[in-house]
Amino acid sequence: MKRLLLIAAALLAACSPPPDDPSRTEITLMRFFGSCESKFGAVNDVRQGVGECGIVTTLVNEFNATNGEGIVVRTQIGEWGPYYDQLTARLVAKDVPTVAVMHESALGDYVRRKLVRPLHEDFARIGIPVDDFTEHARRGVSFGGKVHALPFDTWAWLWHLNTGLFKQAGLVQGGRAKLPGSPEELIAQAEQFKRRTGKPYFAWAVANETAANFRSFLTLVAQQGAPLFSSDGKSIDMRQPAVMKALTLMQRLYAEGHVKPHLDYAAANQAFLNGEAGVLLVGTWTLDQFLREADKPGSALAGGYEVVPFPQLYAKKAVFADGHAWALFEGGAKTERHHQAALRFLKFVWSRSGEWARTGHLPVSRQVADSAAFKQLPMRAGLTEITETGVGMPGNVPTQRAIELLIGEDVANLMLSNKPVAEVQANVEKRVNTALKKARR
Amino acid sequence: MSAVGLRASRPAYALFVLPFVALYAALLIWPLLKGVFISFHDHDLLSNESFWVGLANYAELWDDEVFRQVVGNTIRFVAISTPIFVILSLSLALALNRPGKLAFLLRATFFCASVFSVTLVTLVWKLALMPGRGLLPQLLTALGLPELPLLTDENLALLTVALITVWWIIGLPMILFLSALQQIPAELYEAAALDNASRWRTLTRVTLPSLKRAIVLVALIELIRQFQVFPQILLMTNGGPNNSTRPIVQFIYEQAFMQLSLGYATAASQVLLAIMLVGVSAQIWIERDKKGGRA
Amino acid sequence: MNPLLRRGWFDRLLMAGLCLLALAWMLPLLWVLALSFKPNEFLMARTDVFLAPPYTLDNYLDILGTSAVFRWLGNSALVALLQTAGVLVLSSLAGYGFARCEFPGRRWLFAFVLFGLAVPAQSVFIPLHHQFTSWGLQNTHAGLILPGLAAPFGVYLMTQYFKAIPLELEEAALLDNASRLKTFVRVILPLSLPAQATLGIFTFLACWNDYLWPLVIATQPDMYTLTRGLASTQTNFAQSEGLGFLMAQAVFAGAPVLLLYLFFQKHLVSAVSSR
């Protein structure tokens, strides 16, 4: 009944245009995360938001309702897949949004072309404490030593575990799943898992997927302390021993049946949720939903569901991580007043950044990360370390979307087509170096 | 006034074609020329800065083994799908070119899939082909057949996407043939009936010859469309496995939007244009040959 | 009577076979319909379900609850209808001009137009975007409609169709001293209804489901077309987390076109029984 009333209200709202008010300062906000108007369109309290869409919608709603300065944030939702294509088209067409959410890995190309406003001084002036940014967040939004965006979250590459199956395989320690500490241990434990449960250890998204493969690969290389890219971000070294070890491990795991074969993203999630594999490699964003799944009666995760950062298999603790950040664009604010309004909005987002952590993503404020409220959220305590150990491609590597595609594609071929490791190394190095050389900034 | 009247050449008649040609020149030819111009530059998509490089982009394409593979994939895709499109849609049109509710329903059924967007079509087939739990693997297992990794096998992926494409848009060439069938004069059929011609003879002596122009048209339109195949491959295999399905247009998209290299991307699109020009010219020339006289 | 229409055992077998084929053809779409009534959370874990519970109307209610959805529907409808009308008018006129009229330069102009058939959309996509944005046509209906009017396929189709119309019909009209234009409108056009219906459906569908061009030219949410607008409402991993919603959106977006097809289908197969 309430839903129907909301829909009726929405339809009525669509018919009547809002009156033009000169005392309003309207800024535009471009984002993904989808739309959930029917559930949260009228909710003005971010604490009541649930899920990525719900929380970011209520965040904006609350700001609009409570800022008291006549600032109105108009949300413009873009589709996630072609988000950057659309953003680029908008910038080229001079239809620039005031604020936009972006992945930190995508910021670099826009910053270097001077399309994004540096915010270092603004943050100091309005009181956003850059020193409170976690290490990963700071790295993600800093270019040339200056901060260019407000970090929103850190998301990382996790192992989601079906503890029940681990118990069945005899891989438990103190009631919790026993994790490998080295590649050899991993192989041994995977073999034991398969023997005892008859199921593969891993469910990976390998088919039709480049990001997942790239992230696992980068994690393994980073854990060996090896820099994949040169310090100027203009070349890649795929021939170093760390790379060979990482690729060999991945190929061996897949070839020996420790990874359920041929799965794409949706299939891997389904396999895990139905208890067909012990470990799912996916990010922080599914945490919330998987927890709900595990609580359902008769769920395959009823025997226990755990989440850990990608375990340390080599010398160094590292895991792939990226983050979302809010950037202000050159030409996106019509007047200085609009720019200040946008900054007020960012300040508000910062003050509520603890709420966003309820999605499963990690906080960007050290205070929030250390707070009891955050640590009490299920499983988060074990993930906090990622705010320091998280790594991605260095910020000076250009066109990271394209580079991720080139690397991820061949890593997938390593497994799907059993492409020889040496061939993958040579091929990726050649193609990535060509691409990096061509990228002009 | 007879045939001469119809054949009289008057400049005023050009007004029939002028509106279209004006729009065509402004919105297709002019941007095309600009695109060719850009292909001689190194042009950054995001900052819009560019500098002249002459034929360097084309030389690089020539040496690019990924591009060569991509051209090969596209040609293979067209070679697989176009004959299937033409033959299947012709057969369906011939069989369903009749009045009655059943034929109406059947025509609508085969057309139905084409109203859906490519995102949905690829999504539902990815689910149907999901290893182990998808509809198709379950069917194969039930029949005792081995489960084939249709989308992840280098030799099968392109064929699979081609067949899904046929499933998706067979309706359109089918209605093209249907509209062409309506043009066959009733007298021809009456003459055949008078001669007590069998169905087969009617088909081969009356219907098919009258459809020659339509067959060339359908082959042409499918050629054009399948050379530009892109979203379904992007969404189902992302060009893999091992670059065995990546089409030219995906290459162009990746170069332009991901590597921000607009000059290189437009050079690749000119190569696609050249390839398509060969195909289109060949088709039109075939048709010209068959008729002679006015083209 | 058309020998092809004789009823016999072969005919019945053929139709039976086609019915089976049609059923198999429809199966994935029926599945889409079934999935659209399932909750998203449920579908994250399993998709190999058909008619079994749970059911929900939430996915459709979510679509209707998005206040902009009817604006998007209106955008798509307006743009598709105007573009289709434009293409039909322009292509018919030009097709007639090329098929039946003689004027200086006709052959060259026709070859010039046919060349356009080989031009892939990607060759012109970005320069066209530059052009339109410099003319200030981004986020306008004109920006969405105009490029489709320049496609030569319609002209080619109509030219071929008009060429097949017997000359005698036109000559008869001209004998009555009718102008070319009148002949065209009174005699030729009515004969070309199947081609008009085909081209109309083709163009409408291409416009309705257009993917890349609306993405870059209509970037403001109130100018989104239906497919783009619905896509923007999906969460980031909708193929896994929002599957029911995706299916409902597809049904919602596909239904109008299907209805349009059913409406115009009667012009496709006209008066066959008289043959």
C200 in a structural domain:
yes
Q: What percent of chain C has pLDDT over 70?
A: 93
Give the pLDDT band (50/70/90) at residue C271.
very low
Q: Which residues of A touch B155 (CB under 8 A)?
A: none
The CATH number for C124's domain is 1.10.3720.10
Could you tell me whether strands A390-391 and A319-328 are parallel, antiparallel, or unpaired per DSSP bridges? parallel
Is the confidence at residue A16, as pLDDT, over 60?
no
Residue identified by tokens 């409108």 is C185
Instruction: Show Cβ contacts of residue A81 under 8 Å, excluding neighbours closer than 6 positions.
Output: C231
Report the complex ipTM: 0.88
- How high does pLDDT run on average in chain C? 87
Hey, is A26 helix, strand or coil?
strand
Number of domains chain C contains: 1
In DSSP terms, A176 is beta-bridged to A173
Hey, is B225 helix, strand or coil?
helix
Chains contacting A with at least 3 CB pairs below 8 Å?
B, C
Structure tokens at C101: 């009229």
C24 in a structural domain:
no
- How high does pLDDT run on average in chain A? 91
pLDDT in tens, A153-195: 999 999 999 999 999 999 998 888 999 999 999 999 999 999 9
Among chain A residues, CA nearest to B242 = A413
C49 in a structural domain:
no
pLDDT in tens, A316-327: 999 999 999 999
**Domain around C198:** 66-233
C133 in a structural domain:
yes
d(CA A128, CA C231): 35
CB-based contact (8 Å) between C22 and chain B?
Answer: yes
Q: How would you write the pLDDT of chain B (295 residues) with one tens digit per residue? A: 444 566 778 888 888 999 999 999 999 999 999 999 999 999 999 888 899 999 999 999 999 999 999 999 999 999 999 999 999 999 999 999 888 888 889 999 999 999 999 989 999 999 999 888 888 888 888 888 888 888 888 899 999 999 999 999 999 999 999 988 888 888 888 888 888 777 778 888 888 888 888 898 899 999 999 999 999 999 999 988 889 999 999 999 999 999 999 999 999 999 999 999 998 888 888 777 554 434 3
pLDDT in tens, A246-284: 999 999 999 999 999 999 999 999 999 999 999 999 999
Q: What percent of chain C has pLDDT over 90?
A: 49
Interchain contact, A14 vs C70, CB within 8 Å: yes
d(CA C234, CA A264): 19
C180 in a structural domain:
yes
Interchain contact, C103 vs B14, CB within 8 Å: yes
Asked which of A115-124, B176-185, B251-260, C243-252 is least confident by mean pLDDT, the reply is B176-185
Count, residues in chain B: 295
CB A153 within 8 A of CB A356: yes
C7 in a structural domain:
no
Distance from CA of A263 to the nearest CA of B (A): 7
Cα–Cα distances in angstroms (integers) from residue B148 to residues B103, B128, B154, C231, C249, in the given order = 35, 13, 12, 32, 31
Count, residues in chain A: 441
Minimal Cβ distance to C221: which of A36, A77, A292: A77
C271 in a structural domain:
no
Structure tokens at A324: 């979302």
pLDDT in tens, A280-330: 999 999 998 899 889 988 889 988 899 999 999 999 999 999 999 999 999
CB-based contact (8 Å) between B199 and chain C?
Answer: yes
Hey, is A158 helix, strand or coil?
strand
Of C79, C216, C90, C211, the residue nearest C149 (C-alpha): C90
Give me the sign of the Cα torsion angle A250, A254, A257, A262: positive
d(CA A90, CA A85): 9
Distance from CA of B242 to the nearest CA of C (A): 23
Side-chain-side CA neighbours of residue C71 (13 Å): 19
Give the pLDDT score at A17: 46
C249 in a structural domain:
no
Interchain contact, B254 vs A405, CB within 8 Å: yes
Instruction: Show Cβ contacts of residue C21 under 8 Å, excluding neighbours closer than 6 positions.
Output: none
d(CA C124, CA B34): 8
Give the pLDDT score at A12: 53
Task: Determine how many CB atoms are found less than 10 A away from the CB of residue B3.
Answer: 11
Interchain contact, B179 vs C126, CB within 8 Å: no
Instruction: Show Cβ contacts of residue C38 under 8 Å, excluding neighbours closer than 6 positions.
Output: C49, C54, C55, C56, C243, C244
